[in-house]
Amino acid sequence: MADIIDMPKLSDTMTVGTLVKWNVKEGDTLAFGDILCEVETDKATMEVQNTIPGVLLKTYAAAGAQLPVGAPIAAIGKKGEAAPDPAAKKAPAAKAEAPAKAEKAKPAAGVPAIPESTGVSCAPQALASGDRVAASPYAKRMAAKAGVNVAALSGTGPGGRVVANDVLAAASSTPAAPAGPVNVAVTPPADGKGIQPDADVAVSGMRQTIARRLLESKVTVPHFYLETEVDAAPLLALRETLNKRLAEAAGKDAKDALKLSVNDFILKASAEALRRVPAVNASWAGTSIRTHGAVHLAFGVALEDGLVTPVVRDAQAKSLREVALDAKALIAKARSKKLTPAEMSGSTFTVTNLGMYGVTGFFGIINVPNAAILSVGATVAKPVVDAQGRIVVGQRMVIGLSGDHRVVDGANGAQFLQALKQLLEEPALMML
């Protein structure tokens, strides 16, 4: 009897997936492990492997279809066997290709979940003169940042008072699209060409998740920012020496030798700096601060659909070489869309580097529930004053820290940057 293959649950938060493309066609003979299709989840685009050897009798969904978890996507059986009717199978909770239902806003750690509100409108509404909104001052500030109309919300606080989580729930929901484009209409290009077509581009599930999580971080986490400038010349010199020695050791296979990147040094130095200032390796847990014994380093990898953050686990126990090998393996998996949800979760600290784009300095948005994120800029040649008071050419790199002020104080953040600066300027210390 033929088997029906369902839309798999590829992440812990996935409810709907987009079938990006089929890698096989009806009539193909499939073996265990063959790649059936690619599915975009709320976190990444991932390959779906076959687990039932046989012939692909029928595909029930076309490329581009949005399907709920558990919806039938294909039938596999013996050659010549009739494909079963998917209607005979228990119908999934949502209809195939129906728009994904907005994911319920996830409350901050340690905050009780709020019952899902219905009929909440975020459309601007005029208040009669003298009307007052029952809302906490913090909720009002959040609403102003998120563009949410407090007067339209049903509060869940005492006496119907609008509280922060009510604003977050409204901001994180996906209201029905208004008629026409959201932005003010603009005049088409005079030459009729322009730089790109005027169009409303559908937002991928991954981009929706990025938007929701960054909004949650920005409106619920009190960010503060610190930065310092690092003398990168010693690091660059050590990197050049180590890469030369690695190439020599590889001999004829020098082209395949491990090449250490600046980011590898940043990751290793971050792990060592967190060892010295462990208060930054922590998370806000509502009524407590959760400290972490292991350093699980997330780092940004830019893809066409957005940014993913794979995690180097137990970085505090790994050498520079091991950190570099782990990072390169994770980057390769990210670019080939083979990262698993487990490889993108459970971080305790995040590093984001835009130096390769020539960006000299910036501040990232905290990757909740991390207490901080490190931002790394490009190394720039510039005039500096040396120890003898002479103006010479120096190699300088700006690093910035965005911290969660509920967990990390300014002094803790400054101590972390101080430790990291020392490790980068005396890179041999991270080898000890």
d(C-alpha 1, C-alpha 316), whole Å: 52
C-alpha distances (whole Å) from 319 to each of 124, 199, 216, 258 are 55, 49, 35, 14
d(C-alpha 278, C-alpha 139), whole Å: 32
Kindly state the greatest CA–CA separation across the chain. Answer: 85
d(C-alpha 146, C-alpha 167), whole Å: 8
Token pair of 185 as six digits: 């209409």
**Alpha helix ranges (H) inside 94-232:** 137-146, 164-172, 205-220
Start-to-end CA distance of the chain, whole Å, equals 62
Contact 133, 140 (CB under 8 A): yes
Token pair of 367 as six digits: 């990757």
Quote the radius of gyration of the chain (alpha carbons, Å).
26
Report which of 75, 55, 73, 51 is spatially closest to residue 64, judged by C-alpha positions. 73
Q: For residue 401, what are the β-bridge partners?
A: 226, 374
Annotated catalytic residue: which of 223, 292, 296, 405? 405
d(C-alpha 346, C-alpha 314), whole Å: 11
Contact 17, 7 (CB under 8 A): yes
Contact 5, 57 (CB under 8 A): no
Question: To 10 degrees, the CA torsion angle through 339, 340, 343, 345?
Answer: 120
Contact 233, 426 (CB under 8 A): no
d(C-alpha 355, C-alpha 380), whole Å: 10
d(C-alpha 314, C-alpha 135), whole Å: 43
405 in catalytic set: yes
Q: For residue 17, what are the β-bridge partners?
A: 67
Instruction: Centre a 10 Å sphere on the Cβ of residue 185 and count the other Cβ atoms it contains.
Output: 8
Instruction: List, by residue number, the catalytic residues.
Output: 405
